[in-house]
Amino acid sequence: AQTVTQSQPEMSVQEAETVTLSCTYDTSESNYYLFWYKQPPSRQMILVIRQEAYKQQNATENRFSVNFQKAAKSFSLKISDSQLGDTAMYFCAFGETSGSRLTFGEGTQLTVNP
Amino acid sequence: NAGVMQNPRHLVRRRGQEARLRCSPMKGHSHVYWYRQLPEEGLKFMVYLQKENIIDESGMPKERFSAEFPKEGPSILRIQQVVRGDSAAYFCASSRFGSYEQYFGPGTRLTVT
């Protein structure tokens, strides 16, 4: 079974600075998908960024980028120019193939301070 | 284009009652997933459905829980004889056929008193 581990229960960062959230996973599959979801106080789950394992290039979405290290089974999220609205719980998730379940980590609570 | 819709947003049930949670997927999406989030925890997969078919229910508790996605209408997650431990947020997600991206609804927060 796949497992996803987020070793940082809480993190904080000053507004406009950069922060990196860590995620590691365990799988025997060669092709899969990785995601970062954001859950603000409203509890809505918002897809932040996704990465296909067969792609070597790291995904980027505006201020959000990932560092995908397939051999190390590591998938970290970097948030640049942090904004107050980035305050949320961030979940790393693993998906085996299209149309399959997602396995989530336990989350990292990020607080952006003014 | 409306997102995934869930209702009710909040549901209070007494122990022993039944809870029915509804999920309408995004337009054009034929796959529905249900996840449960206990307090202070991540989301845990429960069941994956396509229209009129349960594809994977390996995350569903063996008793009291059932799910359906009929040809017409929303997907329903049904919890019979609720207990305090069922109190949680229940999220529905949907995706297109062949897509790996799942889009989540706002969740239903179930409180069992």
Percent of chain B scored above 90 by pLDDT?
Answer: 84
pLDDT score of A99 = 67
- The residue in chain A having the minimum alpha-carbon distance to the alpha carbon of residue B97 is A99
pLDDT score of A2 = 82
pLDDT digits (tens, 9 = 90+) for B45-99: 999 999 999 999 999 998 999 999 999 999 999 999 999 999 999 999 999 887 8
Cβ contacts of A59 within 8 Å, gap of 6 or more? A49, A50, A51, A65, A66, A68
- Give SS3 for B85: helix
* Chain A residues close to B31, C-beta within 8 Å: 99
pLDDT score of A42 = 87
**B41·A106 Cβ contact <8 A:** yes
Q: Indicate if the pLDDT at residue B1 is higher than 60.
A: no
pLDDT score of A28 = 87
* Chain B residues close to A33, C-beta within 8 Å: 100
pLDDT score of B42 = 86
What is the DSSP annotation of A51-110?
EETT--SPPEETTEEEEEETTTTEEEEEE-S--GGG-EEEEEEEE-STTS-EEE---EEE
Percent of chain B scored above 70 by pLDDT?
Answer: 99
pLDDT in tens, chain A (114 residues): 789 999 999 999 999 999 999 999 999 888 899 999 999 988 889 999 999 998 889 999 999 999 999 999 999 999 999 999 999 999 999 998 766 889 999 999 999 999
